[in-house]
Every structure is written in structure tokens, then in C-alpha cells.
Structure 1
Amino acid sequence: MSIISKIKENPKLKKLALALLIPSNEHRPRLWVRLFLNPFKHKRGKGSIIRNRTRLDVFPFNEFNLGAGSVIEDFSTINNGVGNVVIGAKTIIGIGNVIIGPVTIGDHVMLAQNIVVSGLNHGYEMIDIPPSLQKVSCKQIFIGDNVWIGANSVITAGVTIGKHVVIGGGSVVTKSIPDYCVAVGNPAKVVKQYSFEEGIWKKV
């Protein structure tokens, strides 16, 4: 059993480890973690760019991988605190995006501006406890290769977006979208799908 596994299974050790990694009442790693741990734990591909005004709330106990030639633009937030964040090659994470793991994003993906991709949800069922203090639940999000997501969209926990999908601006994706589709709306629905037999995009 690895050291990380032992810490995760022991509540006292886990509490101590989190106190060493995260300042009280904050959700970002301490400076020493950002400077001395993360560069050795996380992987960045050749030619990848993370703009100076990006907020990287990434921790060494989960993965953060950025593929070759990919870009994370200013004012974005990347958080792997509750799950891995893996971003493929030649992918653009647009200005003001929020990505909270567990999330896997493929190659040649375009995320426009102010998009939220979150695999995290807070519990709300116990009415005597604020949702902020209830247990969180996490469901993996998968975004396939060659996807284009329009500005101000929201991708919710547990969703899979297939290969070469277009999500219209302002959409809220609550269910998985199959390959080669265009989906729009709140909740997002498929409005076009590519027909390989006819070689055209057809309305659904």
C-alpha cells in the first residue's frame, strides 16, 4: 500500500496532511506545494502554455496533466482537489473557464469563454446542515477529441461528450452527447447529427 493510500484511509493522518498542504479557510495549495511539489508531480507537454493570470488550484495527491501545445488562458481556474484533471494535446481552455475534476479532455478541443466543467457536487439532503458542509460527490466528465464548446456553457458531473461534438453557447449539458452531434439549450439536446452514409449534417 502506498503512502498516499495510507494517509487517505487514516482520518487523523489525512487531516494533518491537508493542513500541511492547504491554508485554513482556503481551497488552494500552500506556496511551498506550488513551488516544490507540483512541478515534479504534474506533467506539461512540450509547447504548452499556462497564462500568468490562471488560478492553478492543483494538489500533488491527484493528477494534473496538460498536453503538448495546449493553452490555458487568463482568469481560468483549474482544480484537481477532488479528482484528476487531464487535458490533451492542442487544446484551448478559453478565458475565464472553471475546470473542477474529475475531468478528462481530449485532443484538439476548443473551450470558448466562461465555461464551467465540474465533476463535483455538494450534498443537500440533510436540512439541518448547510450544503457547503455536507459531503461532496464526484462523477467523471469525459470530453472527446475535436470538441467545440460555446461560451457560457456548463458541463455537469458524470457527462460524456463524444468525439467531434459542438455544444452551442449558453448550453447546460446534463446528459451525455454521442459522437458527431450538435447540441444546444438548457438542458442541452441534440439538434444535428452527422450522417456518414450521406456525408452531411442532418437535423434531428
Structure 2
Amino acid sequence: MIPANEHRPRFWVRVFVNPFFHKRGKHAIIRNRTRLDVFPYNQFNLGQQSVIEDFSTINNGVGHVNIGNHTIIGLGNVVIGPVNIGNDVMMAQNIVVSGLNHGYEDVSISPRLQKESCKQIIICDDVWIGANSTITAGVTLGKHCVIGAGSVVTKDVPPFSVAVGNPAKVIKSYNTASKQWEKVTR
């Protein structure tokens, strides 16, 4: 199924097997220059009217990749499972969302040869992720949160908040009583 020294499925798997295992919603678009490294033993689902732009890479080799309805995966993004992306999510350009980590603890063995660990990433509905951001394994981005450009998200971000920086920190949250975005004081 996988050629030696490669990390993507063989041509015949992509053409003749995957279409029977993976779901693509009505009017969903995967641009021609997208790299789909999807395997039939893990899920890959793309919701209705969602778009995966050119030069992006989607890989479900180590976990399911599910993308909701009306979601945009921008130019040059990398999505490595296990990842669950909600509805109406906007991902700008050059974002890395990876639920995969390599072990490094045993110094007598190259990290390349050590066991991988995977943790589910959850991106809830209505999230906006700015360009050049990184979302690390095990993180949950709450509903309607905004991640500033260039941020590295290493911890969960609560719903209705804005997080920026490296590591990303919440700087604003939405106050439902005043119906205003307010700065978070520490």
C-alpha cells in the first residue's frame, strides 16, 4: 500500500481504493495542487462547500482527519491527523496543524526511529486561524476563537477569545453581558 521509503499511498490506492472509503460533501473543492496523503484505514471527510487550497498537504496516516462544512483550508497548509475541524472555520496561509509527535527520550536512537505519539486536535466551529500559525498535538480551540498570525498554540484556547504569540496567550475574550470584546488582564 505504501512504497518503500515513502510516506504516501501508492497511485492505485489513491485512485481505486480511497474514493470508496473517504467522503467529500456536495460542492466541496480540493484544488489540483493539493497533496492528499490519505489512507483507507483512517477517515478523511470533507464537508459540504469546504475548500482545500493549492499547495496544502492532508495526511491521515496516523489518525482521522475530519473537516466540517463551509471550512477553508488556506494555501500551503499542513494538516496531519488526528484532527477534527468544525464548520465555518477559516484557516489562512501556511498553517501547520499536527496531532503527531516523535519520541526523543532515548538518546541512543535517532528520533526518526523512535515511537510516535498522537493526540487529537479539535478545532471547533467558527474559528479563525491567522497565517503562519502552528497548532500542536492535543490542543482544543473553542468555538469562535481567533488565533493571531504567527502564533504557536500549545494549550487549549477557550471559546470566544483571541489568542496571540509564541506560546499563544489569550489577550481578549467576549463579554456576553456587555456584548463587547474585552482585554484580558493578568
Instruction: State the TM-score bracket (shorter-chain normalisation).
Output: over 0.9
1:70 positional shift: 0.1
Aligned pair partner of 2:24 in 14, 29, 44: 44
Match status 1:67 vs 2:68: no
- How far is the alpha carbon of 1:38 from its aligned partner? 0.3
| CA distance in structure 1 between the aligned counterparts of 2:112 and 2:124, rounded to whole angstroms | 31
RMSD of aligned Cα (Å): 0.3
Within a 5 Å distance, the mapping from 1:72-151 to structure 2 comes to: 72-151=52-131
Deviations 1:102-131 (CA, angstroms, capped at 9, x unpaired)? 000000000000000000000000101110
Rounded Cα–Cα distance in structure 1 between residues aligned with 2:35 and 2:180: 41
> How much does 1:52 deviate?
0.3
4+ residue stretches of structure 1 with deviation over 2 A?
none
SS in 2 for 1:83: coil
Which residue of structure 2 lines up, in the alignment, with residue 188 of structure 1?
168
| CA–CA separation in structure 2 for the residues paired with 1:43 and 1:164 | 26
Greater C-alpha Rg: 1
The count of corresponding residues between Structure 1 and Structure 2 is 184
Partner of 1:35: 15
Residue ranges of structure 2 left out of the alignment (5+ in a row): none
Partners of 1:105 and 1:181 lie apart in 2 by: 17
In 2, the alpha carbon distance for the partners of 1:130 and 1:112 equals 34
How far the C-alpha of 1:179 sits from its partner, in A, is 0.3
1:172 corresponds to which of 123, 131, 152? 152
TM-score (norm 1): 0.90
TM-score, normalised with respect to structure 2? 0.99
2:179 matched residue in structure 1: 199
- Match in the other structure for 1:7: none
Provide the C-alpha distance between the structure 1 equivalents of 2:162 and 2:137, rounded to a whole number of angstroms.
Answer: 20
Q: Secondary structure at the match of 1:117?
A: strand
Q: 5+ unaligned residues in a row in structure 1: which ranges? A: 1-20
The percentage of aligned residue pairs carrying the same residue is 73
